[in-house]
Amino acid sequence: MTRQLHFNLFLHDTGHHEASWRLPESDPHANLSLEAHQHLTRVAEDAKFDSVFLADSPVLWSDPARRPSGKLEPTLLLAALAASTRRIGLIATASTSYNEPFNLARRFASLDHLSKGRAGWNIVTTAGDAAARNFGLDDQPLHKTRYERADEFLRVSTKLWDSWTDDAVIADKQRGVHALRDRVRAVGHHGEYFRVDGPLDVPRSPQGYPLLVQAGSSENGKEFAAKWAEAVFVAQPTLAESQAFYADLKRRAVAAGRNPDQVVILPGIVPVVGDTAAQARELDAELERLIAPEHAIGTLATVLGVDAERLKLDEPLPIDLPAEEEIEGHKSRRTLIVDWARRDNLTVRQLIGKLGGGRGHRTFTGTPVQVADTIQEYFENGAADGFNIMPAVLPSGIEAFAAKVVPILQERGLFRTEYTGTTLREHYGLPRPANSLELASR
């Protein structure tokens, strides 16, 4: 088969540009609206996207004065979206630092059953002391510790998903046997971070495991992705940086004993689409004009690990910023931002303007053909297997992308015109995992 693009829609209230909620067209309450999320998901499904994605964090993300910051719990929302869609995949973020394997494995197995095999889990380790304080801790665990816990968390979760064999449930009314007892087994995990007996109280789900997604780009993050991730969301602002990340992660996957074609790499792109280049630039300029730098500067300071008072809007970043190894959270994003600012000699105000659209992801402003050309260039030159589509403004951004960009890529034979599978794994061209406990017993 000819290699084709994969598209995920990153759902984010009124859009990924931080000022999108201030446009006259925007619903500033969309973040809490089931109807708004249903509309966006249906647009993506009609365009034959592989999946939609909801980010999450166990802490208030940003200054609530700055933009809509309330978040519905994503697996609950995706369960509702599963009932109003048929084919599109449904991916939610959940933290390994502030959950327990049994509850989270149960939640995603339940979503996979309810959606008939369309669930995905974006695995995060959660940075920041503010999140830690919501769970009775004074400080966040060390970066290395968070990834060690995440690795064990995945080992426990996969055992729990495998604690029922695929043929365990027979529902034999004549014999009065619903499930074969010897096909439902304890996992007996006793590790450094978790003790879990099992079995899970949900039978093995349609996909076996939900699709495993990861988004960290630190050294620990890339090693974790190479071992576990089946799809990777990544922020790289240039083609060259995307190519370097793509080649590096594929090499790491091979070193981990995996097929690199089964690690789908999806850079984020923030498309600002206009019928003409001038219209696209006009929308981009309007959005940048609506940014409130007094709010944005605090978020930037947190990522950089400095006091906000040290960042002067019309001056470059301070020279003596903490190095990446001194930062316990957002390591890769911190380095991306600093390198970008130094390379382009940006003032703090200019940097805030660029980050306002995509937080370090590639922002592209242009016509439908220009956007399609950029996507094709990345796809055909070793930089991407597809894209995490992050419209600057919602719903108009995904409506324009679906109506004007997708048909161009379909005409070029680069994107599907119909779904060929029913599960999220099938959309991404990934196999259903074998039952590890069953294999071990042979």
Q: Which residues are annotated as a binding site for FMN?
A: 56, 93, 143, 147, 217-218
Cα distances from 31 to residues 174, 189, 207, 323, 442, in angstroms, run 50, 39, 29, 35, 49
* Own/partner pairs, 278-281, CB within 8 angstroms, 24+ separation: 280/365, 280/366, 280/367, 281/365
Q: What type of residue sits at position 19?
A: A
Q: Rounded distance, CA 442 to CA 438, Å? A: 7
Q: Which residues contact 386 (CB under 8 A, 6 or more apart)?
A: 5, 6, 7, 8, 50, 264, 266, 379
Binding-site members are 56, 93, 143, 147, 217-218
Q: Rounded distance, CA 246 to CA 267, Å? A: 9
**CB contact at 8 A, 117 and 422:** yes
- Concatenated DSSP letters of 375-429: HHHHHHTTS-SEEEE--SSTTHHHHHIIIIIHHHHHHTTSS-SS---SSHHHHTT
**CB contact at 8 A, 150 and 192:** no
Least Cα distance to 232 among 252, 212, 258 occurs for 212
Cα distances from 219 to residues 139, 216, 245, 246, in angstroms, run 22, 9, 11, 14
- Concatenated DSSP letters of 221-269: HHHHHHHH-SEEEE--SSHHHHHHHHHHHHHHHHHTT--GGGSEEEEEE
Q: Rounded distance, CA 215 to CA 224, Å? A: 10
Q: What's the angle, vertex CA 311, arms to CA 305 and CA 316, rounded to 5?
A: 110
**Cα separation of the two ends of the chain:** 34
Q: Rounded distance, CA 45 to CA 25, Å? A: 23
Q: Which residues contact 358 (CB under 8 A, 6 or more apart)?
A: 16, 17, 235, 268, 269, 270, 390, 392
Q: What share of the chain is helix, strand, coil (3-state, %, to 5)?
A: 45, 15, 40
The two structure tokens encoding residue 376:
């094709």
Q: Rounded distance, CA 341 to CA 348, Å? A: 8
